[in-house]
Every structure is written in structure tokens, then in C-alpha cells.
Structure 1
Amino acid sequence: MSVLAKSLVTLVAVLAAPAVAQTVESSAGNLTATVVAEGLDHPWALGFLPDGRMLVTERSGQLRVISEGVVGEPIAGVPAVYNQGQGGLLDLALSPDFATNGRIYLTFAEPAQEAGLQRGQGTAVLSARLVLDGDSGRLEDGKVIFRMNKFTTTNRHFGSRVVIGQDGNLFVTLGERGEQDRAQDVTDLAGAIVRIAPDGSVPPDNPKPEGWAPELWSKGHRNPQGATLRDDGVLFTVEHGARGGDEVNMPKAGANYGWPVISYGVDYSGVTIGEGTQKDGLEQPLHYWDPSISPSGLDFYDGDLLPAWQGDLLAGGLSGELLVRLDMEGDTVVGEERLFSRQLGRIRDVRVGPDGAIYLLTDEDNGRLIRVAPEGL
């Protein structure tokens, strides 16, 4: 049996586990959300292994394998994380050559002492080899290949997603750590998207605007918690605004996306932020939400189960507690569809599986992995 066939068999087999299903109408017909696994501690990110099992990060610091609805024991060798506020173990990505090299990348809030610093915490990226033993295992050859250049004591806005580009380089999204002005400091890696090589070095073709730190790809971001590649290799992100002003962006090399100089939201107190919604030299979002939905998780739909949605963006909502489909025509958002509003809880991650279904993680003490597919499939 081929690797793909095994993957599909395993993903379908999860439906044999005890499940709770919920069905809603959509533009693609009735969709059913089925609970695949539960009992997760604020799960943050999901990845698909070649054999059909799944990897999940828990914000409190565990990396686990899910097999046929069963959550495995924590994988050994995960780095110590700063598990307070919005910090913890965050995103994951599998190397394109994972089947042969077992390499994965993890983003996490790193405590200062682990980084050899005096105080604070910041977003970091670990590269390691995953060795599985049944439904558990260990990380070997782990190395922190990247960390923010300025750690601070705030406990929010770490970002952080990691996406592997078509050239093998890594895009990493970084929040401004709740300190707005850092997003406009081009010597600071906060409030930015950085682009690094798989070993953490700086790709020679990174943009080089005057004064910019060499790792920077784009600046002026508040707290990007979703990122994905289109099939042509172009990066898309979603980020949290303050009170309103959540954004969808297509970050371009060397571009500035404006936070906190421009925004479509206001401060939580109601006070205006910055100078308005537009300014020369600063980029506009492709789409924004007001009021906020707190978008987290992002993926393009490229499966076979929902052909009408091919090429559309899917995003989760935390405060919005929903799944959003953005109808895409080229680089333009031409429509929005809201699904499962207030029915599934806070959606932290969204991934399209190899079986064409949409998989969601809910951010809660008893976090769940949920499969969304056409009714009856």
C-alpha cells in the first residue's frame, strides 16, 4: 500500500472512534464537524505525518501523536517553554523531506535563562529530528536555530507560525510582544515576518531596505497567528488587530504593513490608534475584520471533497468562535462565509488534511481535534 493510501486509511479510521457530530449548511452543501480526539491542553498546531497519524502541540509544552483518535504520551526532548499568558509551545512544521530525515520545526516562547539571557522571554524556533516509538517518541539533535533579538517580560503577542517556502527557507511570524512601537523599529525582529534558512542563517536574497535587520522579510505586524503558502509559493497571513482591525495580508519582501501607525481598529479603551487607516509607504490589508474575530490558523483549501472551495482561504476565529472561508479571486478577497459560529469554541488552528477534510483545533482546557467534511463523508 502506498504512503498516500495508508494516510487516507488512517484518517478515515479516526471516524471509528467515539465522536460528537454537528452539521451546518454551507455554500458547498451540508458540512459535518466530528470530534476526532479530545482531552488536549490548549492545542496550538497540527501536522500530518506520512503514515496518516497527526502531530499536535499543546501550549503547556507537550508534543503528542494522535492515532485513530487516541492521544499518545508526550514526546521527549521538547524544549522548556514559557507557559504563561499567550506563551508556550506554539507552531510546528514538517520538513518537505520528513519521510527520509524526520526533521521538524517548532516555534515556542523561550524563557531567557534557556537562551543564556538575564530576563524576559521571546519567540524561538527549534529544529529537531523526530524519532517515533509507537504513539510516542523523542526529539533528537535539537537545536534552537532562531530567536528574537530582544527578549522582554510581557506575556503576549509571540506570534507565531512557521511556514516552509518552496525554496526550503522558513517564514516565521513574530508578534510585537504587546509593545506597539517595536513593530516599526527595523532593528527589532518583533512585529515582523522573518525569513531564515533551515539552519537559521540568513538567505542571501532577503530584502535589504536601509537599516533593516537582515532576517526581516516584512515589518509593521501586530500579532500574526496564521500563515500559509498559496500553490504558487506566495505567503499569506492573518493577524490580530486591537479592538477591530484584524487583517489578512500577503506580505511582500521589504514592505511595511503599518502597525501601529495605521489600523482599522481602535485601542481597547476606544482611543484612536496611530494616524488613521492609510498612509503613503504603508501597505493596506487584503481584508480586515471589524469587529474582531481574533483570527488564528490559516490554510488554502486544495482538497477534493469541496471542489467549489478550491483556492479559497480558511481561517479560524478565537474570540469569534468560528471557521471563516474567504472567497479568493487571484489576490483579492471577494466574499466571506462564516461557519459553525459559536458552535465549536475557540478555533486555534486550521489545516486541510490529505483526505481533503478540514481539521480544526479548539483552544481550551479540554481541547479537541475536529474533522469537517461533507455530510456522510
Structure 2
Amino acid sequence: MSKEHTNYWWVFPGFKIEHILSGLDLPVNIAFVPEPGNKDDDPLFYVTELYGQIKSVTNDYAVHTYAQNLLDYEPSHEFPGTGESGVIGICVEPQTGDLFVSMLYKENDETKAKVVRTSSKNGLEMDSAETVIDNIPSTFMSHQIQAVTIGPDSKLYVNIGDGGAAGKSQDVNDLRGKILRLNQNGSVPWDNPYPENPVYAKGLRNPFGGVWRNSDNHLYISDNGPHKDDRIAKIKPYGNYGWPGDMRKGSLFWWHHTQAPTAMDFMQGGQFPPQFNDHLFVALFGNTYNEGRVEGKGKRIVKIELNTQATAVNSYDDFVIYTGEGPASPCGLAFGPGGLYFSDLHGEKGSGGNIYKVSVDPEKLEELIDYGNEDQYPGFWVEIREWARSKGITD
């Protein structure tokens, strides 16, 4: 672990940041094993690398190549531009440990998107793969297939960008600009909003992130706007989220200035004190390869507290901010054992992509307690102390 890397990041009071991995090749998204084993060499999480690899990371943070050469084309490496394509979304099927992965491919000079399901006996190396859905029109310039998630109904949900054809987002007979809902074998569930149609919601532009909130069993997504109005939306069946045109339609929250929101996750597993329960953490990528810190423009993770009905935002705070001089920027993000993990796509100059972990710092617990609002959270001090004792952070 490199302490030098952590010097490039500011973190919320009462927390610490640890450098877990480096040398990754454009690590896009992170997916944790729901119930990891106890052995050092048991898989802990998986990472998609944009240009055709999936890495399996074990409990001892050893990195294994789970799959490689997944692309049937040579990426242009142009950022921003046609190099923003490849292997992107990933989630773990909780019963089998199989992976659902979204990616692009070429067919007769056409760019298309698909989701594949991979299997492995040991979780370290892929044994087989089968296509779940394919033949989705796409583009190499962002706006493509992205997050894949499994809902509480055990159905597969897939985020599809508009492929650069904005008008298709309103056409329910076209899969672009949509959230799709599928059975895990790729068939269409009988109870989908549109009969014999995988479309679950429409009117989206470039929906990168997706996460399920356990307290209301709804999918929340991040969606990138054209020049303004990047947003967070709560997805409902039949939902029309306004694109092309009004990016604020159906939105829970939006940014007036573009931030490029990518992955996101709710704190709902007890990794942080109870006052952070159900807070939404969102990676704001910012400008591609923009070096150094940019005030108010991406290169950070934000913490958003929703109201009880999840219809509005109660609070918004910076949680992690990049302070270095390189092109580093958060991309993937997921809660796992003991904290919040995120991928830094570009890393410091020459270091390659990184994985970091943010957790409560026992030496800075007083900072966290002092930050608490006793009026808003009665018993804040007591609850944090009790939480810290239950986690073995304090005696």
C-alpha cells in the first residue's frame, strides 16, 4: 500500500483513505462478492478494465486476471472520444457468483452493445460465457451500454445510453436511451411495462451509474446531460425522464454545471456510522484527462442525503476531493467490507489506475463526533460511540 498516493486526496472529517491497488488499466467499475469467503485467496471484488479485461481481487488484495481479450476491435485510445468504449458495467449474481458484464462489439462495421454472463468455478478465472442480450445499436463515444444491476425481484436491469441518436430515447421500440428489465437468461419478463418488450423506462441520455436502495426497493441512476443538468433519478416503470429536451423531468437532483457523474452507491451495509445510513455517494468524474484539481468541477465523490420520501435532497457534501496534479479522477464506486471503495481511472502520471478505500479513522473519531449536528441527529455522540465499539474501533 502506498501512503504517497493517499496524500493526493482530501477526505471528509473523521475518515481516512487507504491505497489498495495500482497499475490497473483504466479500471471502470467495481462489483463486490455479496458474501466473500474467509480465506486470503477467496474473491472479494471484481474490476472491469475498459479495454477488454476483468480482474478478480482476493481478500489479500492479490490481483488475478479473470478474463481478457473480451473486445473484438482495437480501441482508439482517444480520450475524450472514440476511446471511451469497451468493457464497462459489472454485477455479481448473488446465488451463483456469476458475473453480468456490459460491453461493446463490432458487427459488419457497426458498433453494438451486449451483456454477457460469465461463470467461474473458483471466482478467479472465467470458465464460460454466454450472451444475455446483444444487437443493441451503440457508439464508441460514450452514450453506450453501462451499469448492470440485479433488482430485488432477481431481474437484470441494464442502463443504455442514447448512442448519439437522442430521438431514439423516446421510441419504446428502440433500446437506446432506456433502462431495460430482463430475466437473467435474456428473455422478457411477463410483467414488464410494455408487453414483450425489455424497456422499463425511457427518456435517458447517458445513464452511467445504477444502484438499488434497499429501503424502498427502487433503482437510482446517474445520467449525464449535454452541457448542464447532469442528474440523479429514481427509476419507476413506465417512467419518461425527458430526454431529448428536459433533463430535469423526473429527476431527484441535478447539477447546473456538468460534473460527469459516474458510479454511485448507498451506504446501507453498516460500513459507516448510522447517521450515514441511506446516504447516496456519487463519483463525479469531471473532464477526461484534466490534470490537477478543478474547483467545483468533478474529481471528487459527493455525499447526498435524501428526504424520507426520496423526493428531494436534505444535504449535499463533498466527501473525497482529488488535490494532486495528475489526471486522476474517481470512476467506479461501491461499498464493501469496512468502507467505500472507488476506482481512479487514470491515476497519477505513470502510475496507472488505482483502487482506494475510505473508512472511519479511529484516530479521528472526535472529528466525526464534532461534525455531528445534535439538533438534526439527537444522540449523535452516543450513537457514534456505540457504533465504534460494535465495530471494534474503540474499547
Instruction: State TM-score, norm by structure 2.
Output: 0.77
The match for 1:63 among 30, 54, 63 is: 54
Residue pair 2:53, 2:68 contacting (<8 A) in 1 also: no
Deviation sequence 1:266-308 (CA, Å, 0-9, x none)? xxxxxxxxxxxxxxxxx43100012111000011101333322
Q: Give aligned pairs, total.
A: 324
Deviation sequence 1:1-22 (CA, Å, 0-9, x none)? xxxxxxxxxxxxxxxx444434
Instruction: Specify every segment of 5 or more residues in structure 2 that has no aligned partner in the other structure, as ranges.
Output: 38-42, 77-82, 287-297, 363-392
The match for 1:79 among 70, 84, 94 is: 70
The match for 1:143 among 116, 130, 134 is: 130
SS where residue 138 of structure 1 aligns? coil
Residue pair 1:109, 1:122 contacting (<8 A) in 2 also: yes
Residue type at the aligned position of 1:222: R
Residue pair 2:181, 2:188 contacting (<8 A) in 1 also: yes
SS where residue 124 of structure 1 aligns? strand
For residues 306 and 176 of structure 1, do their structure 2 counterparts lie closer, same or farther at Cα, with a shift above 3 Å needed?
Answer: same
Instruction: Specify every segment of 5 or more residues in structure 1 that has no aligned partner in the other structure, as ranges.
Output: 1-16, 113-117, 265-282
Q: How is 1:175-194 mapped onto 2 (pairs within 5 angstroms)? A: 175-194=161-180
Residue pair 1:119, 1:152 contacting (<8 A) in 2 also: no
Alpha-carbon separation, structure 1, partners of 2:161 and 2:72:
17
Indicate the residue corresponding to 2:294 in structure 1. none
The match for 1:258 among 242, 245, 251 is: 242
Residue pair 1:81, 1:89 contacting (<8 A) in 2 also: no
Q: How is 1:17-166 mapped onto 2 (pairs within 5 angstroms)? A: 17-19=1-3, 20-22=5-7, 24=10, 26=12, 29-49=13-33, 50-51=36-37, 53-67=44-58, 68-72=60-64, 74-76=65-67, 79-80=70-71, 82=73, 83-84=75-76, 85-97=83-95, 101-112=96-107, 118-132=108-122, 136-140=124-128, 142-149=129-136, 151-152=137-138, 154-166=140-152
Residue pair 1:87, 1:155 contacting (<8 A) in 2 also: yes
Alpha-carbon separation, structure 1, partners of 2:119 and 2:253:
38
Alpha-carbon separation, structure 1, partners of 2:303 and 2:135:
32
For residues 36 and 154 of structure 1, do their structure 2 counterparts lie closer, same or farther at Cα, with a shift above 3 Å needed?
Answer: closer
Deviation sequence 1:199-224 (CA, Å, 0-9, x none)? 00000111028xxx711001110111
The match for 2:252 among 270, 279, 286 is: 286
1:197 equivalent in alignment to 2:177: no
Alpha-carbon separation, structure 2, partners of 1:260 and 1:139:
41
Residue pair 1:46, 1:361 contacting (<8 A) in 2 also: yes
For residues 200 and 32 of structure 1, do their structure 2 counterparts lie closer, same or farther at Cα, with a shift above 3 Å needed?
Answer: same
Residue type at the aligned position of 1:284: G
What RMSD over aligned residues (CA atoms) do the two structures have, in Å? Answer: 2.1
Residue pair 2:175, 2:199 contacting (<8 A) in 1 also: yes
Alpha-carbon separation, structure 1, partners of 2:85 and 2:164:
12
1:364 equivalent in alignment to 2:346: yes
SS where residue 308 of structure 1 aligns? helix
Alpha-carbon separation, structure 2, partners of 1:76 and 1:290:
39
The match for 1:167 among 148, 153, 169 is: 153
Alpha-carbon separation, structure 2, partners of 1:46 and 1:25:
20
Residue pair 1:63, 1:78 contacting (<8 A) in 2 also: no
SS where residue 125 of structure 2 aligns? strand
Alpha-carbon separation, structure 2, partners of 1:66 and 1:358:
16
Shift of 1:153: 5.1
Deviation sequence 1:209-244 (CA, Å, 0-9, x none)? 8xxx71100111011111000113211101111111
Runs of 4+ in structure 1 off by over 4 angstroms are 22-25
Residue type at the aligned position of 1:123: A
For residues 258 and 186 of structure 1, do their structure 2 counterparts lie closer, same or farther at Cα, with a shift above 3 Å needed?
Answer: same
Deviation sequence 1:241-271 (CA, Å, 0-9, x none)? 111110100111111101112136xxxxxxx
Shift of 1:129: 0.8
Shift of 1:188: 0.9
User: Percent of aligned positions with the same letter in both sequences?
Assistant: 24
Indicate the residue corresponding to 1:347 in structure 2. 330
Residue pair 2:299, 2:321 contacting (<8 A) in 1 also: yes
Shift of 1:102: 3.3
Indicate the residue corresponding to 1:373 in structure 2. 359
Instruction: State TM-score, norm by structure 1.
Output: 0.80
Residue type at the aligned position of 2:340: I
